[in-house]
Copies of this chain bind each other. A is one copy, B any other.
Amino acid sequence: MLSERRLQVLRAIVQDYVGTEEPVGSKALTERHNLGVSPATVRNDMAALEDEGFIAQPHTSAGRIPTDKGYRLFVDKLAGVKPMTAPERRAIQNFLDGAVDLDDVVARTVRLLAQLTRQVAVVQYPSLTRSTVRHVELLSLAPARVMLVLITDTGRVEQRMVDCPAPFGEASLADLRARLNSRVAGRRFTDVPRLVEDLPEGFDVEDRGTVATVLSTLLETLVEENEERLMIGGTANLTRFGHDFPLTIRPVLEALEEQVVLLKLLGEAGDSGMTVRIGHENAYEGLNSTSVVSVGYGSGGEAVAKLGVVGPTRMDYPGTMGAVRAVARYVGQILAES
């Protein structure tokens, strides 16, 4: 077990390194933090911390920088979450309150997060699978062509074109619309398949094919995982990443373009509470020199989607975590109101 002072030394190293981006030496440490001991003592502590794998030196006779393991300890034990100041809270609320629809909420959230943290922000659209159905609408566009519109409690709208095997009258359509809504409105998406299972049986033989087609399209829409959408922003902040650009930045940009990767990343994060993945803790290799801070948000008590930021492992964890948590909270409120 590490002594109290050694933990303080680690904390000081992380803080200084995050601030200066340069390896920090024993002398600078004692000058900037009054640890009450001499550089020589700090050197001994540093050697111990290095043995344990919390810090490393880029070259012999250079200062130390934290390792992923060091950041992990810092986040877990040495630092809290820095709460937003009152003006910041007001700014967040004002900014989000102006949103006119779901797209706008998400867009504003991305901008806000990117600005607050000065990092890359990622916001997932409220997930279909955890939402409930508000309404299902069927529109006849042509005799054998129906548009299916699905509206969720979070305001998200999905639409699909359905080519029917046989012409489908307005009356039948109205009938289907009514029956469908009476069964699924207000229900969770996961329950829908069970609820509509026997629906075709109530219809005339000639319409059953069409009903089945419509239903299967509906179910597809519900499960289709690749319909999970997300929005990213603040990529310009990547330029503040480090000195060796092309190599570091490229895989990150690539990862950000692969929505699948990002969704997986957010998906792997814990369901409740804030998750911080540091450097190599990220399964995706291109993000090995980044940290991801994410948290669920939702309109009620339950999380319907996640949001977070991607930044260099050398980031201000307390501040970032504070911003992410605060934004998630306010977005939840906005969604609950609408």
A contact residues vs B (CB 8 Å cutoff): 101, 134-135, 137, 139, 141, 147, 149, 151, 155, 157, 159-161, 233-236, 238-239, 245-246, 249-250, 253-254, 256-257, 338
Contacts and interface: CB of A to CB of B under 8 A. Distances in A.
A157 B160 contact: no
A253 B256 CA distance: 13
A314 B161 CA distance: 43
**Chain A interface main SS type:** mixed
A149 B160 CA distance: 13
Nearest to A114: B257
- Copies of this chain, complex-wide, total 2
B149 A137 contact: yes
A144 to B, nearest CB: 15
Nearest to A103: B229
A180 to B, nearest CB: 13
Contacts of A246: 239, 245
Contacts of A134: 141
A103 to B, nearest CB: 8
Nearest to A110: B257
Given A236-B250, A239-B246, 5 more contacts: A155-B161, A157-B159, A236-B254, A239-B250, A245-B246
Contacts of A236: 250, 253-254, 257
11 contacts: A101-B160, A139-B151, A151-B159, A155-B161, A161-B338, A235-B235, A236-B253, A236-B254, A238-B253, A239-B246, A245-B245
Nearest to A102: B159
Contacts of A234: 257
Nearest to A104: B226
A157 B236 CA distance: 31
A34 B160 CA distance: 59
A203 B254 CA distance: 56
A159 B149 CA distance: 11
